[in-house]
Structure 1
């Protein structure tokens, strides 16, 4: 059922994508260490706490015949930072997805590697809803299999299992918040062998994989689509399901301050609050915590920042670097660096902000942000990356100065326009 991700890799660069809590939502994941999953918030190990141990592979489900995709009412803007509305057409086969899920005894869920608030929150919310329907449910993500500490508060982590414990050829698999099959990491092969693959995603850069697609680039977050799927499955929202959905929605709207924050987004947030979500608790976990070492690394990054007023078509570029040695000196793990760019992007004189972060492999992860005029997503795609119009990234080896030279050149290329503007 599923199509292989045919995206070619760019030599010297690897495709990555950022569109959510990591790299986008305020302080991001810089509050705590990433911790190996040990049974989530309800204790125990994945093996002992999971309500449904992996079952023997069931006979493959037969996907329903393709239906004409239903077009849901579009939200203005999209994802993190808000892509231009209508950047790509929605593919919403709700009937096909519901039919597959209702016929399944076991459902395997997978989100993208290094999950953020939208990916993990959406997946755990859906896992709990499927369990309420009496389905056996397994949820996972590719290595490194470690839940960011700031997301440990999310309910439903008892459904998480290590990727090696997922069936090699699941009868039904649902991919969440991944724009391409490769983003599933070590679970990409299982997705390719699945009897049926449902793709739930909101990225404009989605490459078109999966047999049944719930993909809407106009949705503010994957959580928006998951909430609709849960509603169509007839599962009422409870506090735990709502908590995951709210974390995803808040993450990908930048705590409701990016252009994708529409009246419909606030309506959904209101329903989630009615179900029992405490917004102040979620906000504190996602954005309002940091160890002292992070503040010292942030101070160093800001002291190294360079402003290039003539770059990005004369609109200005501000950039800085964080070497592995910088964070190791302060005992700050790599995953705690995402909030740095949200301080840098405040620069009035720069349309584009960039942070180059050296990972544990010696590669540079290049986070980019724009304020609405420059399409950094297009530039990052040119360099082997991906993301949204105003929030994107790529990974590349080499010296930071050379990487910035390549990005600067990509930002000089004219951007196609269709007359739309972003506020």
Structure 2
């Protein structure tokens, strides 16, 4: 098994990957952060919006500055977005283990609720997770992973504002430009792709545990290698991770192929409530359903078990767009959307206060499902299409 650091890569080069992003898509969260420059390394590194364009485009990824800051640090705080998915948590834990191997004190966390989703509890490196309340309020070096905006860090957004230096690693097209040092590339299929390259540049060989987190990230954001972002380069990366010892059947089982019996009953109810609107989304069709908190409480199914419902709904031949409205423990509705490619649900979600990718996006809102779906219909209406009188 050859170490990842042994691969010959020209300076500034790394695997090119193209996901289903478009301008205007992505996570549209957060506010502008007041720019402030702090001494870091050999130069001033603004941790806020002053460097909004510093990392834009694949040619401007700030690898050298990132390496300089990491090598100089004794302690590194890592944070991913709230309610982490496979890419967010897998990428963070992989990087945390790589930094630990370099002798760094590493603290990894995410904003409340500080609970690892059930389907991700198999990931190695969770001994490095720290309750957000135990993080230093003003870390000297902080790395944000898979968050398109500071608001996606939840209660850790303030820590990012106060960090002596903030490195942002992300692949969302709508990244708002926060962070002083940016490894942001919307052409990357997953944040894990960027993290794998960062680990390689740090000179850390891939072991099985590091590779497992990266594989979970890539597999999650490519839909188990089904989405259009699954390029030859993505398969090359997956091959390197398998060489490091990842068992793909074990990861797939944890992510997609297991659930408590109560989940099947909740799923059955959600599918029974599903509604098909053939004329919605510009005539391309919309299928949607709801899962109230009472539905899952009756079956003792936690909120984080509901991730796979949308994948069943999106199989509907007559609908381009699938939507699942899930009520969380706070009484808000998390609205998950999927498209087969002809409709940009990321752009629709940005207009509703959320964001994501062209084919997968979401937003959180209050209100009743009927009103939420009404708003969605309007957001999915093609530009210039007249609103029909009721």
Matched, 1:146 2:122: no
Task: Quote the residue 1:257 is aligned against.
Answer: 226
Note the 1:23-422 alignment, pairs <5 A: 72=14, 74-76=16-18, 78=19, 82-84=20-22, 89-90=57-58, 91-414=60-383
For residues 390 and 298 of structure 1, what CA distance do their matches in structure 2 show? 22
Q: Is this contact kept in 1: 2:100–2:106, CA < 8 A?
A: yes
For residues 24 and 328 of structure 2, what CA distance do their matches in structure 1 show? 35
Structure scoring higher RCO (CA < 8 A, sep ≥ 6) equals 1
Pairwise CA distance, 1:359:
1.4
Pairwise CA distance, 1:89:
2.8
Instruction: Tell me the alpha carbon deviations over residues 91-127 of structure 1, each in whole angstroms, 9 at most, x when there is no partner.
Output: 4110110111111111111111111111111111111
Structure 2 SS opposite 1:74: coil
Instruction: Give the total of aligned pairs.
Output: 343
Pairwise CA distance, 1:83:
2.0
Instruction: Tell me the alpha carbon deviations over residues 316-370 of structure 1, each in whole angstroms, 9 at most, x when there is no partner.
Output: 0111111111111111111111111111100001000111111122221111111
Deviates more, 1:190-199 or 1:405-414: 405-414
For residues 130 and 362 of structure 1, what CA distance do their matches in structure 2 show? 38
Pairwise CA distance, 1:306:
0.8
Pairwise CA distance, 1:73:
5.2
Structure 2 SS opposite 1:147: coil
For residues 125 and 212 of structure 1, what CA distance do their matches in structure 2 show? 20
RMSD: 1.7
Pairwise CA distance, 1:182:
1.0
For residues 325 and 85 of structure 1, what CA distance do their matches in structure 2 show? 38
Structure 1 runs (4+) deviating above 6 angstroms are: 85-88
For residues 92 and 327 of structure 2, what CA distance do their matches in structure 1 show? 29
Q: Is this contact kept in 1: 2:170–2:191, CA < 8 A?
A: yes
Instruction: Tell me the alpha carbon deviations over residues 200-246 of structure 1, each in whole angstroms, 9 at most, x when there is no partner.
Output: 00011210000000001110110000000000011111111111111
Residues 108 and 142 of structure 1: is their aligned pair in 2 closer, same or farther, counting only changes over 3 Å? same
Residues 85 and 358 of structure 1: is their aligned pair in 2 closer, same or farther, counting only changes over 3 Å? closer
Pairwise CA distance, 1:74:
3.0
Instruction: Tell me the alpha carbon deviations over residues 238-288 of structure 1, each in whole angstroms, 9 at most, x when there is no partner.
Output: 111111111111111111111110000000000011011111111111111
Q: Is this contact kept in 2: 1:86–1:217, CA < 8 A?
A: no
Structure 2 SS opposite 1:246: helix
Pairwise CA distance, 1:71:
7.0
Pairwise CA distance, 1:84:
4.3
Pairwise CA distance, 1:148:
1.3
Q: Is this contact kept in 2: 1:125–1:244, CA < 8 A?
A: yes
Residues 119 and 350 of structure 1: is their aligned pair in 2 closer, same or farther, counting only changes over 3 Å? same
Structure 1 SS opposite 2:116: strand
For residues 410 and 150 of structure 1, what CA distance do their matches in structure 2 show? 32
For residues 395 and 108 of structure 1, what CA distance do their matches in structure 2 show? 27
Q: Is this contact kept in 1: 2:339–2:359, CA < 8 A?
A: yes
Pairwise CA distance, 1:413:
3.5
Q: Is this contact kept in 1: 2:118–2:304, CA < 8 A?
A: no
Q: Is this contact kept in 2: 1:72–1:92, CA < 8 A?
A: no
Q: Is this contact kept in 2: 1:313–1:411, CA < 8 A?
A: yes
Pairwise CA distance, 1:153:
1.3
After TM superposition, the score normalised by the length of structure 2 is: 0.85
After TM superposition, the score normalised by the length of structure 1 is: 0.79
For residues 264 and 250 of structure 1, what CA distance do their matches in structure 2 show? 13
